[in-house]
Amino acid sequence: MLAKPLRPMALQARRLYVELMFQVMGRALQGISEVDQVARDEARELPEGFLFEMMVRPRGPSLVVEHTGEGRFHYHGDNPPRPVDLSIQFKHIAHAFLVVSFQEKTSVAFAHDRMLVDGDIGYALRMTRILNRLEAFILPKLVASRAVKEYPANLKLPQKVLSAARIYLKVATQFFDTARAS
Question: Closer CB to other proteins, residue 125 or residue 167?
Answer: 125
For 161, which DSSP code? Answer: H
In the complex, minimum distance from the CB of residue 125 to other proteins, in angstroms, rounded to a whole number: 6
The two beta strands, 51-56 and 86-90, are parallel
In the complex, minimum distance from the CB of residue 136 to other proteins, in angstroms, rounded to a whole number: 10
Question: Closer CB to other proteins, residue 62 or residue 128?
Answer: 128
User: What residue ranges bind other proteins (CB under 8 A)?
Assistant: 103-104, 107-108, 110-114, 116-119, 121-122, 125-126, 128, 132, 148-150
In the complex, minimum distance from the CB of residue 46 to other proteins, in angstroms, rounded to a whole number: 11
Residue 132: CB partners within 8 Å, gap ≥ 6? 106, 107, 147, 148, 149, 152
State whether residue 4 is helix, strand or coil.
coil
Question: Closer CB to other proteins, residue 29 or residue 86?
Answer: 86
C-alpha span between 68 and 116 (Å, rounded): 25
